[in-house]
Structure 1
Amino acid sequence: MTSSLQSDLKTHQALSLPRRPRRLRRNAALRKMVQEAHLHVEDLIYPLFVTEGENTRVEVPSMPGSYRYTLDLLLAEVKEAAQLGIRAIALFPALPEAKKDATGTESYNPNGLVQRTIRAIKETVPDVVVITDVALDPFSDQGHDGIVSETGEILNDETVEVLVKMAVSQAAAGADMVAPSDMMDGRIGAIREGLDNAGYTNVGILAYSAKYASAYYGPFRDALDSAPKFGDKKTYQMDAANSREALTEIELDIQEGADMVMVKPALAYLDVIQLVRQNTNLPVAAYNVSGEYAMIKAAAEKGWIDEDKIVMETLTSMKRAGADLILTYFAKQVAQFLAK
């Protein structure tokens, strides 16, 4: 430092600023005291892929660090997650083509992969909340979330009948919550009625209420081999350009009996999360989807970003937008980071 600069600093008069926001940023303790959004391990729901077989774990090529597990290894993964403080898992099945058909009949098989997995988890780690997916795409030979007509139309009401059977079957196996992700009209009310009539009044519904027809789902479809065999899902999933429409979907699902609502994807839809949060008192979940996960993983592998810091910043942004719960494939990584 030059002598002239030292002299200037000595004679410098402080600006008269009654408000100095930097006062609250001076050190880590102060910053923590005034932090507005907090991410906790209890906020995390861990999505897991289960497949047939034994003693096998296959990495999803487009989702480094994420795997399809056979049931025996899935149980070990659920135990480890529970030990880290993760209280809920979301279950997704990867079925062989031989078990898929036009109407998803395997979805309500009482001895199917999903049902066996639910029972095993509840026997092994009973305190973990098991949330099950309700949609036909993993069970359909067409890869769509609903039954396909001869003309290629996705049939709404016929699909809902199957979704009710699926949800009741999952509840009978011990699911704590069912999560309809199909976006058929009226399915929340029908599932609620079906569960109640079957005696499962305490089984909750986490509704994929604002689920968009998004390009961020590609790696997930790789994981389950559930990409649509024709067309796309734009006749039932929401238009990515719409936000007000989300409020219509949310309102309908709440009227029909949803216990929680969800926005999916999350990162490109933070405005929708905030809008939903401002318009309901129900818990709001956000799904940090496979494409969001894959982009972070790819950039981290290139050495372009600090993975842990980017993950924490990304998930905190979802909390800041208003999400109470976050489904994320980073759940274990975040739990370990938070425990430091």
Structure 2
Amino acid sequence: MSSQWLLSLVEPGSVPAIVACGTSPKNSVPVPGFLRSRSDSGAALAAISTCTSGHTPTSVHISPKRAVQARPVLGSDEAVRGVWFRVTDPVDTGEPPLSWSFDWNMTAGIALVPGSPAVARSLLGVAEVMTTLDFGDRAADVLTMLVSAELDTRLAVDATQLWSDGTTHQIRVLARVCESKAGERWVRGIAYDYGVSHRPNRSPSTIGDIIASSAPAPRTCTAIVDLDTLETLHWHGPPPDTVAWRFDEADHRPRVHPDDDDAVQALASATRDKSADRKEIVVRFRAPDGGYSPHTVTSLPIDLDEHGADRPRLALVTLAECSSGGSPS
């Protein structure tokens, strides 16, 4: 006999709790409450503990024909974030649903996604990962969590994701807000695959609804930006090919020309304080050819109803490349 794979999150000081049965979400049910047999739950807890400490697959026998098989989900720091396990015949083969961890440094705008089937690199910018994801009508919840949710806030949400092989998959995302010893804001968690999705990765009812009231002019690029860190969270539509916006460890140039820093900070402050209508400045961004490319930049606050926040954390920013004379091309 073979049972379904169960996913348990691993968090220090907490009893392992089941958040998925196969690909069906569960509401953090403690293992002893889910596996009513004392021998099954005891073996499951032992397997999770051994798998967590050893960072490798393990098996704990209950009887000659029953055992708990366990498979770890490792984070970018090699710590175990979750464990898939099942009570089954020891000779049964098969693996749990495809899953991977993610660690997003929201302070630096960097994402670590080892094993993600959506990207070829394990280290890239948050905006690059976001271009692969569609959170549907939960987009506002996700954006709020990324920039302003309190520490230890948790979010479980479904999404569609465009994978690097060109297929679109339905996935489950389990995320938690935390803080590093250095005071950096992180969003960490696990994602697992439901299977191939047959709906488009970008539907009109997703993040587009958040910015629909601020339609940019033709031939502009539009982004959602964190006003505190000035990191891009999401490109709405194609990103600009005139800006080197992707994370590149080998490129140490500032993304904005140093002489334009004050103007950018002033624009961010005005947007955050809602002290003016749409403002427009010219900013020189790091260009793919090694120089800097001037763009006209406008910014408007985005209101996500952040539980009484008096100042917005997000802005709708539009970019239009300038001609050599400094006006939009």
Taking structure 1 as the reference length, the TM-score comes to 0.23
* Larger helix share, 1 or 2: 1
* Larger strand share, 1 or 2: 2
Taking structure 2 as the reference length, the TM-score comes to 0.24
